[in-house]
Structure 1
Amino acid sequence: MGWIYYMPEILFVIAAIIAVFGIISLVRSLSADKEGKILCRKCQAPAVKSASHAYLFLIPASFDQEYEDAEGYLSRNMKPIAGKDQIPTGRRACWLEVFTCTKCDERQVRIRDFLQVRGEEYLKGTYILPYASFRSLTEQWEEMDWNRERR
């Protein structure tokens, strides 16, 4: 009876260790999200909001339409809007929030894709993505003269 005899037990222990680390990671992520933070994609340290407000964008998706490659699709198709009153019926929008890691200063964004139905936001997806892909969009949103648009 060599070590092969104990292979099922060895595999079970390895799987159990991986599951424990996965559960710990999930609990950390959920507790950070509850506190308004996210975990850094690079070093897993807590990241905090960099801006006091969230940016609102319209996307060309409707109802249950799905898209692959969230980073590419969203960075190419998001259009800045001033408020939820500018979301056409049946179209989706997304909130973008910028976060900075408390340890490595890496910037990233959390995007919450939603459909607005009778004033309620129905979440379609949440994505944590690199800030670099969305920097120009946040700058474009900041440069908009929203008072001029509402006249």
Structure 2
Amino acid sequence: MSRRSSRPRRAPAPAALTDLSPCPCGLPAAYGACCGRFHSGRSEAPTAELLMRSRYSAFAAHDEGYLLRTWHPATRPDGLELDPSMHWSGLEIADTADGTAFHSTGTVTFRARYRHHGRRGALCERSTFERVNGSWMYVDGAFIE
């Protein structure tokens, strides 16, 4: 188990997201070299934490296709209706358990900050991930306080 707390960075607005933009997930890399490579299909997230970060970035970028592609087939909804007025503004990883190349399951606990209709808020969740045919997939999550 590891505990990480990185200083959250403000996520760029979806319209402003380019390969050279700071990545919304908060890692110190440009979007194209970080989560953008997963969104485009150039590579797959090698750990549950990187998949979780890339899914957060997909929410920030309103990338419904990526979110559905990385959702476990057993729990995947038929579709998503992403609210265009939802602006994701920062991600903090609180804890990870398993979820590496040596595991078949993993969990990631995080806090995602957002702004919706001018109001600020945060979503705290413990997400569960599982490998399906070698690829990490989001299974489900439990909200936490």
Same fold (TM over 0.5): no
Give the alignment's TM-score, normalised by structure 2. 0.30
User: Which structure has the higher relative contact order (CA within 8 Å, separation 6+)?
Assistant: 2
Structure with the higher helix share, 1 or 2: 1
Give the alignment's TM-score, normalised by structure 1. 0.29
